Amino acid sequence: MNFIQQLHQAESLNDSLLCVGLDPEPAKFPVGWKGDAARIYDFCAAIVDATKDLVNAFKPQIAYFAAHRAEEQLERLIAHIKRVAPAVPVILDAKRGDIGSTAEQYAREAFERYQADAVTLSPFMGFDSVEPYLRYPDKGAILLCRTSNTGGNDWQMQRLADVPGQPRLFEHLARLAETEWNKNGQLGLVVGATFPAEIARVRELAPSLPLLIPGVGAQGGDAEATVRAAGRSGPVIVNSSRAVLYASAGEDFAAAARRVAQQTREQLNRARAG
């Protein structure tokens, strides 16, 4: 089963568009574990166990592990997800972007070392920075397209004078990802939840691709507007991280995370049904 098939299966099995982002910050851990980077695995595994039947993906962000020398804990965590939630794909949020043999090594890191089902990539260096990941036919590569940070306007909204119709950069990328770059049907796109109109535009240009949409919850993205804009023609992965992870600073943190995840899933499903 490839990444796209996994997504469809998890969405159907758990009736969910929700992805829980695993961004562990020891300073925010519950009392007793607070500040202890050695408990990163324990914290994240508890979140996974509490929410595994409510999500269509988990998305560990590699920097939150590497900054604490916790790569081994990340390996253990992804192995744990595959044991307790084998139908739920794991997206390694790494945002890699390099060419040639370096990209080959990053692909090995994501798919062989960590056993992720998909990885996020920066496509700024062009298709040859993406192609090494596509040599893993069952894996997904999710390209940054229209991000929610303010600085995204510096590049993504600029028009391309030499391309017919003078599309903005993010529009040109969405079209390439839907067509000539998507040789094996492995690509997806990252589009921030804070720009619903641009989510809709990306969906228009890339009707079949999975859209990974961060920014719902603590970052202020509107869940209902996000789902309406993303449409139904391709998979939708709506990520929430901090709002779920840090729903409580007490011993009930996992139960609180489940409550928030359940509420978010229901909100997304109401928007999908509306």
Q: What is the pLDDT of residue 242?
A: 93
Q: What is the pLDDT of residue 183?
A: 87
What average pLDDT does this structure show over 142-156?
88
- Higher per-residue pLDDT: 48 or 165: 48
Q: Which domain holds residue 44?
A: 3-273
Q: Decide: helix, strand or coil at residue 74.
A: helix
Give the span between the Cα atoms of 108 and 88, in whole angstroms.
21
> What CATH number has the domain bearing residue 141?
3.20.20.70
How many Cα atoms sit within 13 Å of 189 on the Cβ side?
Answer: 34
Catalytic residues: 95
* Beta strand spans in 82-137 (E): 91-96, 118-121
Average pLDDT, whole number, for the chain? 94
What DSSP character marks residue 216? B
Helices (H), the chain: 3-14, 40-51, 62-66, 71-84, 100-108, 153-156, 169-178, 196-205, 223-230, 242-245, 253-273
* Beta strand spans in 98-240 (E): 118-121, 140-146, 187-191, 211-213, 236-240
Number of domains forming the structure of the chain: 1
Structure tokens at 42: 């324990």
Q: Burial letters for 102-141: b for 16+ Cβ neighbours within 10 Å, e otherwise?
A: ebeebbebbbeebebbbbbbbbeeeeebbbbbbebeebbb
Confidence grade of residue 149 (pLDDT, cut at 50, 70, 90): confident
Strand 118-121 to strand 91-96: parallel, antiparallel, or no bridges (unpaired)?
parallel
User: Using an 8 Å Cβ cutoff, are 107 and 137 in contact?
Assistant: no
Q: What is the pLDDT of residue 18?
A: 96
Helices (H), 143-252: 153-156, 169-178, 196-205, 223-230, 242-245
Phi, psi of 208 (to 5 degrees): -100, -10
What average pLDDT does this structure show over 134-156?
91
Record the pTM. 0.95
Phi, psi of 239 (to 5 degrees): -90, 135
pLDDT tens-digit readout, 48-94: 999 999 999 999 999 999 999 999 999 999 999 999 999 999 999 99
pLDDT tens-digit readout, 189-248: 999 988 889 999 999 999 999 999 997 755 555 778 889 899 988 999 999 999 999 999
User: Using an 8 Å Cβ cutoff, are 29 and 35 in contact?
Assistant: yes
Confidence grade of residue 158 (pLDDT, cut at 50, 70, 90): confident
Which are the contacts of 152, defined by CB distance < 8 A and separation ≥ 6? 146, 192
User: Using an 8 Å Cβ cutoff, are 183 and 135 in contact?
Assistant: no
pLDDT tens-digit readout, 1-20: 899 999 999 999 999 999 99
What average pLDDT does this structure show over 102-128?
97
